[in-house]
Amino acid sequence: MNRDELVAFLDEYLQISAFPDKSSNGLQVEGKEEVERIAFAVDTTLRTIERAVKGKADMLIVHHGMIWGGLGYITGIHYKRLKALIENGLNLYAVHLPLDAHPEVGNNVELLRLLELEPNGPFGEYKGLSIGFYGEFEKEQPIEKVAQVIAEKLDTTVKTYEFGKREIKTVGAISGAGGFALEEAHRKDIDLLITGEFTHADYLTAIDLPQSVLVAGHYKTETLGVKALMEVVGAKLGLDVFFIDEPTGL
């Protein structure tokens, strides 16, 4: 498939222009004009680039790109990554907040689906737009049961902070670093916020509100949207696709 046609499809499907984002979403580094095989990963690292090249990919699609609003000096690790991309003609396409928020393949709708929940509405306002969703169980669920399901289906270690409710009816999902949504969750009577990471400041906010939180890992919670997008691209466009797993344990 022609690269520019592929990029136009991705830009429109993911609605990248709708989101104010420090990530430079879209085609960050231009490579080969024809794309037959695409690698998908959460992060842009030398390892993911090298594995994409080894897997004979023509494009690497990631959640965390290499350019966050612009590049300064092309030295050090920036030089090494850019050099590896250009020398191998590997296109780099990044999609950050638009992938978190996407109603079909987004990280946050996929997090809810792990619990067999469909979104009841938007949640997690960030710079004027909601990037997450909330859902509701038919009956209250013990927080331990919710944690067990997430741990098993994501193959991750989870930690719960049971500062608020322990019997869960409503769940809000914000992948990655979702601490910014703590007060909104409490204000909207969302029983449990599921996110990826939890900082010292987040802990203090949650305990004071109080708000129950389930933390499942920044990396693991953001594999979901990448994999779901990969399936759509493979099925709709008939391209060869594969996922590069580079877990951090964080």
Count how many residues are written for the chain: 250
pLDDT digits (tens, 9 = 90+) for 58-109: 999 999 999 998 888 999 999 999 999 999 999 999 999 999 999 999 999 9
CATH of domain 3-95: 3.40.1390.30
Domain ranges in the chain are 3-95, 101-218
Q: Running along the chain, 250 residues long, what does each successive block of 10 average in pLDDT?
A: 98 96 97 98 98 98 94 92 98 98 98 97 95 98 98 97 98 98 98 98 98 98 98 97 97
pLDDT value at residue 71: 80
pLDDT digits (tens, 9 = 90+) for 194-205: 999 999 999 999
Q: What are phi and psi of 217, to 5 degrees?
A: 100, 130
| Helix orientation angle between 223-237 and 3-14, rounded to the nearest 10 degrees | 130
Secondary structure E strands in the chain: 26-29, 37-43, 59-64, 91-94, 121-126, 129-142, 159-161, 167-173, 192-195, 212-215, 240-243
How confident is the prediction for the chain on average, in pLDDT?
97
pLDDT value at residue 58: 98
Tokens of 85: 């991309």
101-218: CATH class: alpha beta
Q: Do domains 3-95 and 101-218 have the same CATH topology?
A: yes
